[in-house]
Amino acid sequence: MHAFATLDIQKLPRDVDALLGVIGDLHHQYSTILESLHQQLQNLRRLHFGATSEKLSGQPDLFVHTEQLPVPPQDLIDVRYQRQRKGRPSLPKDLPRERVEYDLSETEKAAFDRLERIGEEVSETLEFTPAKLTVIEHVRAKYACHKDGDSTIRTAFAQPSPLPKSNAGAGLLAQILVATFADHLPLHRQELIFRRHGVELPRSTLCEWKLAAGELLAVLRAPLIAHTLAAPRLHSDDTTMPLLEGGRGRTKTARMWGYLGAGARPNETGGWVDYPRSVVFEFTDSREGKYPARFLRDYQGYLQADAYSAYDAIYRAGKIIEVGCFAHCRRKFFEVAKTQKTPGLAAEGVGWIAKLYRIEATIRDKPPDEKLKVRQAEAVPVLANFRRWLEGHYPTLLPQGALGEAFGYALNHWQALTRYTESGILVPDNNLLESAMRPIAMGRKAYLFAGAERGGHVAATLYSLLGTCKLHGIEPYAYLKDVLRRLPGQRIDRLAELLPFNWKPVA
């Protein structure tokens, strides 16, 4: 459209063939722009009115090609999801139980000559006891001490709160942090909840407690980062974090970078040992490439990330090996396929990638050496056919169109995308980290922005610790309460003992 608007009629060639060439170029530009606008419109409609699941409804009809290209798999598009109806779930066995017994009344018993109890019938109901606030009086014994004619006064030591000059206990601080960063409750809602329990805690007080507790926990970042960077493989991604600009009354787009360590290593007996997973988030005021470069300056190994150009310089240094993400690749095909009434090349692309994930499903719980064998035997031939299919169709597409971009992404990043077949400790996508970053997006919708850089750094610390807890199935409130209670007296050379995967609660 822009090309037509700036067209100078006086400069058009008078030769018919040259004029036809100009018209052809303009038509190509117009078609590209129209396809791009149509794709954006369809994506907006699906964003507001469509399903969020990345599943296609319907089976793609395969095109009849004049070239002998590999045929996409025909049985791998998930057509629909059938919800399985189950009975009422059983209640967890580890929950505390209270026994309430029921017996026949005296009148009912008097109606019989003799009663013999032969058993009982037991049914269970799940009950809820609301949270309660308790004031704990810390009473320190005070002595008048005398020795050799001198006297002094000594008072027993106690540290009621992890925070100096604060009356907030470890349990209350842990509740505020979990409510904010795990349950996504803004402070004004927490203020109302505490008011219902009979205590006025202004949000300004809650905010200061939250920040101070997060800064106390920040001493665990260094050992957590060291552990993450020592992992056999590393995942990286970033997401937005709006930051309120002081004095301007508006926000700017800051970033939250995520780094997740995982994988496995061989042990002395020839087996494999899973590396304890961990995730670290770093808050920065922009998306400049210097931030991941700084964080990864001492790292050496596999790095799985999207195709953000800031990583290119990191890969060129040679210490870090690029691993691509097939979830990103699939998403580009899916975004096109979802808007098409008649399944075509985009749906076929999804089918090729589904075949690769079908292979992965069969080896999910296998050790890395077995995964490598299966990938080399089954996934590598599928990838070879997939690439032939991509190369066969790509010349027929508009490079700037949405489908052309999907094909181009796959071909341009082919080496990184297929690197997972070279090692059994790798995975085909970055979904593990994307799942760990989801709480940030959910929290962003609740509290909207970070009020200052101080709050952004505290959020990074809490999302790191709580995200690592989630990776290991650790209940976050119990963890934070115990760590906040112990941290002021913990030796600096033993901080790693308080990381979630090393944590052992003290009664």
314 & 330 share domain: no
In sequence order, what are the residues at sequence separation of 6 or more whose Cβ sits closer than 8 angstroms to the Cβ of residue 293?
A: 310, 313, 314
Q: What do you get for the CA distance between the two ends of the chain, in Å?
A: 71
Residue 243, domain member (yes or no): yes
- Tens-digit pLDDT profile for residues 175-228: 999 999 999 999 999 999 999 998 999 999 999 999 999 999 999 999 999 999
Per-residue pLDDT at 64: 39
Choose one of 367, 402, 429: the last residue of a domain: 429
Asked if residue 500 lies in contact with residue 472, where contact means CB atoms within 8 angstroms, the answer is yes
Most confident of 43-47, 60-64, 139-143: 139-143
Answer yes or no: do 210 and 284 share one domain: yes
Burial track 30-50 (b if 16+ CB lie within 10 A, e otherwise): eeebebbeebeebbeeeeeee
pLDDT at 388 over 90: yes
pLDDT digits (tens, 9 = 90+) for 420-435: 999 999 999 999 999 9
Percent of the chain surpassing pLDDT 70: 86
3-state secondary structure of 261: strand
Please check whether residues 181 and 268 belong to one and the same domain.
Answer: yes
414 & 500 share domain:
no
Q: Which residues contact 26 (CB under 8 A, 6 or more apart)?
A: 3, 4, 7
Based on the fold, state whether residues 494 and 439 are members of the same structural domain. Answer: yes
So what's the pLDDT on residue 84?
Answer: 61
Residue 478 pLDDT more than 50? yes
CA 327 vs. chain centroid, Å, equals 14
Alpha-carbon distance of 61 to 190, in angstroms, equals 53
> Is 190 found in the same domain as 301?
yes
How far is it, in rounded angstroms, from Cα 482 to Cα 391?
A: 57
Report the distance separating Cα 443 and Cα 240, nearest Å: 12
Total domain count, the chain: 2
Rounded to whole angstroms, the Cα distance separating 227 from 401 reads: 43
- At 333-346, the pLDDT tens digits run 998 888 777 778 98
User: In this structure, are 360 and 483 located in the same domain?
Assistant: no
pLDDT score, position 6: 60
Domain encompassing residue 242: 170-324+433-507
Residue found under tokens 């992890």: 162
Distance (Å, rounded) from C-alpha 439 to C-alpha 7?
50
Confidence of residue 80 (pLDDT cuts 50, 70, 90): very low
CA 222/CA 308 separation, integer angstroms: 26
Give dist(CA 382, CA 425) in Å, integer.
Answer: 20
Whole-number Å distance between alpha carbons of 348 and 326: 15
The position carrying tokens 């994988």 is: 263
Q: And the tokens for 276? A: 């304890």
Closest CA to 259 of 297, 211, 205: 297
Does any domain span residue 104? no
pLDDT of residue 28: 66
**466 within domain boundaries:** yes
185 shares its domain with 286: yes
- Please report which confidence band the pLDDT of residue 76 belongs to, taking 50, 70 and 90 as the band edges: very low
Based on the domain organization, do 279 and 290 belong to the same domain?
Answer: yes
pTM: 0.80
Residue 21 has pLDDT above 80, yes or no: no
Q: What are phi and psi of 473, to 5 degrees?
A: 65, 30
Could you tell me if 340 and 315 lie in one domain?
Answer: no
Q: What is the Cα 287 distance to its own chain's centre?
A: 18
Which tens digit of pLDDT belongs to each residue from 83-122?
Answer: 566 667 788 888 889 999 999 999 999 999 999 999 999 8
- In this prediction, residue 123 carries a pLDDT of 87
In a domain, residue 80? The reply is no
Polymer length in residues for the chain: 507
pLDDT band at 74 (very low <50, low <70, confident <90, very high): low
* 56 pLDDT higher than 70: no
Structural element, H or E, at residue 373: helix 368-374
Residues 252 and 332 in one domain: no
Structure tokens at 362: 């069969």
> Cα(206)–Cα(476) distance, rounded to whole angstroms?
19
Count H helices and E strands in the chain, helices first.
18, 9
Q: How far apart are CA 326 and CA 329, in angstroms?
A: 5
Per-residue pLDDT tens digits for 337-381 = 887 777 789 899 999 999 999 999 999 989 999 999 999 999 999
In a domain, 114, yes or no: no
How confident is the model at residue 83, as a pLDDT?
Answer: 58
Position 316 in a domain: yes
Determine whether 350 is exposed, middle or buried from the number of CB atoms within 10 Å of its CB (0-12, 13-18, 19+): buried
For residue 147, give Cα distances in angstroms to 144, 154, 156, 157, 235.
Answer: 10, 13, 18, 21, 64
Q: Among 119, 73, 121, 126, which residue's Cα sits nearest to residue 97? A: 126
- Co-location of 466 and 399 in the same domain: no
Query: Is 292 a domain residue?
Result: yes
**Could you say which of 392, 410, 429 is where a domain stops?**
429
Query: Do the Cβ atoms of 433 and 193 come closer than 8 Å?
Result: no
Residue 151 lies in a domain: no
- Look at residues 429, 444, 473 and tell me which one is the last residue of a structural domain: 429
pLDDT per residue as tens digits for the range 310-325: 898 899 988 999 999 9
